[in-house]
Structure 1
Amino acid sequence: MKKVVFISLFTLLYFTVSRASSVDTALTYSAVMKKNIKAVVIKPDGYSVSQKYPVVYLLHGYGGHQDDWIKTAPVIKTLADIYKFIIVCPDGNVSSWYFDSPVDPAWKYETYVAVELVKYIDDKYSTIQDRSGRAITGLSMGGHGALYLAFRHQDTFGAAGSMSGGVDIRPFPLNWNIADRLGKYADQPKRWDDNTVINLTNLLTPNSLALIIDCGSEDFFYNVNTKLHTKLLDMNIPHEFISRPGGHTWEYWGNAIQYQSLFFDKFFKKAAN
């Protein structure tokens, strides 16, 4: 009996596209935090200043740094080549949750990513300097961060995604140093309510953002993601929701980023027409 081998679209693209993206480590400066912060910048094959490129901001998770994606899921270099966009992976510190912390003024990662970093990338690279050419996504803490920033900065980002995102932080009051950024949940419940993604959906209107949300069915964030999905359905907010068997793992995220990149490419092309 002959064995039938199925090859995915992404596998075919991986082996047929010339993988010649270039990787920079940019040293950016945050005026609001008064320090230098690194970011990995991936430019697609054939990058030229005569062309304007869309940008995908890709956020790491808790305990991570700017090198996590490029080292653990190097497929992102191929995705930059396939879709001809720039990918930016900033250092969000190990536990920023991408807030501007009301507790510690040294942690202002909302302002850094959504304002300072975007300006730096637009100044230094040949980008589409408009929300029609910007998307943001991330994993876990970064999935929370991507939706949090996109919901609050819709003038900056036109599309957003989340992979295994902590989209409601309130069920986890003792985890991942969130209390260090917001204060203890028992003492500051309003801060937690005001800074959790699922409570920011009031900022959305139908089609104000192109949204894609992905979470594995064995992930400890699965329940909060399905609740966000249901809430968006109830509000008639169009979005894509994907769930497959899988947990809170790089194997899952390495797969998820491929679907998210395809989604963002469709958004960029539609916005350009």
Structure 2
Amino acid sequence: MAFIQCNLFSEALEMSCAVNVLLPQRTAAQVGMQGRSGDGRHPTLWLLHGRTDDHTIWMRRTSIERYASELGLAVVMPNVHLSWYQDTLGGPRYFEYISEELPRLCRDFFPLSDRREDNFIAGLSMGGYGAWLHALRNPQNFAAAASLSGALDLADLVTTRKTEQPNAYAALAPYFPAPDAIAGTGADLFALARQVCESKADLPALYACCGTEDFLYEGNQRFLRHADEIGLPVTYEEGPGEHNWAFWDQWIQRVLAWLPLEKPIN
């Protein structure tokens, strides 16, 4: 597996942005690793971080490089700070950056496939929300999207933080100044899910997992009930676990096994 650290200048953000990239590499010489790579441009997982982390976190807290090397899968891990993957009014356009600019830039620099069936998006916590946000708003871009302990019920989370945890809400306020106005907007996964179901769009496969002791567990359950009501197919799994890396390192392996990847050619 080849590991590249880079800074890309983003016009959407008007700044340089750090990105970590893992590229498949055919090799039998790396001790304890099985490198696999197909011919041509690589299938890609766009892997998103949570609210308190950055582009380095998945490689520091999990064995994502080892897991992906066996699949011939490229992994792109961008940094979006505390943005919740949203465009800001008069400021950085993080949604545009992730959905349009970053894929274009990465495909210019690296041999990444632009085929929908080769592109997948996943993330944890804030990144789980971000993964589904992008999958539901741009279903044509991804074959599959996975949320690990995702903040799927954003309106409830923001309202709770504002009323019960004002210090924690301070980090959300620049992006969601009116929590009671989230429902029904482009930031609301409940509304987006209903819209894509009504539009009869070709939906990406959706996967969610959450630990039963996670503080976001009830929000995940509310979204699953909503998905069932509107006929949105979701593969859901749960198990013992809290909002921590012991859970995510285990369950990212299940996500990778679930992805509809074509078998790489050695």
Alignment TM class, shorter chain as reference:
0.7 to 0.9
Paired position in structure 2 for 1:269 = 262
User: Quick check: 1:59–1:143 contact (8 Å CA) kept in 2?
Assistant: yes
Paired position in structure 2 for 1:179 = 173
TM-score, normalized by length of structure 1? 0.83
CA–CA distance in 2 between the matches of 1:109 and 1:44? 27
Paired position in structure 1 for 2:115 = 130
Over residues 146-178 of structure 1, what are the superposed CA-to-partner deviations in whole Å (9 max), with x where a residue is unaligned? 101111111212210100110112223324522
Paired position in structure 1 for 2:231 = 236
**Which residues of 2 match residues 4-19 of structure 1 at below 5 A?**
none
User: Quick check: 1:49–1:126 contact (8 Å CA) kept in 2?
Assistant: no
Over residues 35-56 of structure 1, what are the superposed CA-to-partner deviations in whole Å (9 max), with x where a residue is unaligned? 1101100112327795221100
- Taking a change above 3 Å as real, the CA distance of residues 39 and 192 of structure 1, as seen in their structure-2 partners, is farther
Paired amino acid for 2:181 = K
Paired position in structure 2 for 1:84 = 72
What number of residue pairs does the alignment pair up? 241
Paired position in structure 2 for 1:64 = 53
TM-score, normalized by length of structure 2? 0.85
CA–CA distance in 2 between the matches of 1:36 and 1:192? 33
The alpha carbon displacement at 1:82 in A equals 1.2
Paired amino acid for 1:69 = W
- Taking a change above 3 Å as real, the CA distance of residues 161 and 49 of structure 1, as seen in their structure-2 partners, is closer
CA–CA distance in 1 between the matches of 2:244 and 2:130? 18
- Runs of 4+ in structure 1 off by over 3 angstroms are 47-50
Greater relative contact order (Cα < 8 A, sep 6+): 2
| Deviates further, 21-30 or 216-225 | 21-30
CA–CA distance in 2 between the matches of 1:23 and 1:203? 38
Paired position in structure 2 for 1:217 = 212
CA–CA distance in 2 between the matches of 1:217 and 1:179? 28
- Kindly report the root-mean-square deviation, in angstroms, between the aligned alpha carbons of the 2 structures: 1.9
CA–CA distance in 2 between the matches of 1:82 and 1:182? 40
CA–CA distance in 2 between the matches of 1:151 and 1:268? 20
| Deviates further, 231-240 or 144-153 | 231-240
| Deviates further, 213-222 or 122-131 | 122-131
Paired amino acid for 2:153 = D
| Percent of residue pairs bearing the same amino acid type | 26
Paired amino acid for 1:35 = M
The alpha carbon displacement at 1:137 in A equals 0.6
- Taking a change above 3 Å as real, the CA distance of residues 28 and 244 of structure 1, as seen in their structure-2 partners, is same
- Structure 1 spans left out of the alignment, 5+ residues: 1-20
CA–CA distance in 2 between the matches of 1:49 and 1:237? 33
- Structure 2 spans left out of the alignment, 5+ residues: 27-35, 163-167
CA–CA distance in 2 between the matches of 1:242 and 1:191? 27
Paired position in structure 2 for 1:155 = 140
CA–CA distance in 2 between the matches of 1:244 and 1:48? 32
The correspondence for 1:38, drawn from 18, 25, 28, is: 18
For the residue of structure 2 that corresponds to 1:269, the secondary structure is: coil
The correspondence for 1:164, drawn from 144, 149, 152, is: 149
The alpha carbon displacement at 1:192 in A equals 5.2
